Amino acid sequence: MISIIKIIWINIFSMKDWKAYIESNPSVMYGKPVIKNTRIPVDLILEKLSEGETIEDLLLEYPRLKREEVLAFKKCSSMQHDFDL
């Protein structure tokens, strides 16, 4: 039986455009890349993950955040993208 995490990973890796989760607008957070339709900076989420916070911690701390978004950011980070929008 495939676990839910594996299903989510499969969906993200098959996603053609990871930018579907990220936007940059000069009038929002000075143009920093943020999670679409929020003011949550992508670099903040990646920083918290690098400091050892779990995805579950982030989901509790940021109720508007979705597991798929965090996994997409981790994927982008591991691929060393610079979030050029």
The mean per-residue pLDDT over the stretch 5-14 comes to 51
72: in domain: yes
Is residue 77 scored above 90 in pLDDT? no
Residue 84 has pLDDT above 70, yes or no: no
Range of the domain at 29: 4-78
Any residues with CB less than 8 A from the CB of 44 and at least 6 apart, and which?
A: none
**CATH number of the domain that 18 lies in?**
1.10.10.10
Would residue 46 count as lying in a domain? Answer: yes
Residue 33 lies in a domain: yes
Rounded to whole angstroms, the Cα distance separating 12 from 17 reads 9
pLDDT digits (tens, 9 = 90+) for 26-71: 999 898 888 888 899 888 988 898 899 999 999 999 999 988 888 8
pLDDT on residue 82: 47
Strands (DSSP E) contained in the chain are 22-23, 34-35
Domain for residue 84, yes or no?
A: no
65 sits in the region (left: phi over 0; alpha: psi -120 to 50; else beta) called beta
Question: Is it the case that residue 24 has pLDDT exceeding 70?
Answer: yes
Count of structural domains, the chain: 1
Question: Is residue 85 included in any domain, yes or no?
Answer: no
> pTM of the prediction?
0.66
Q: Is residue 25 part of a domain?
A: yes
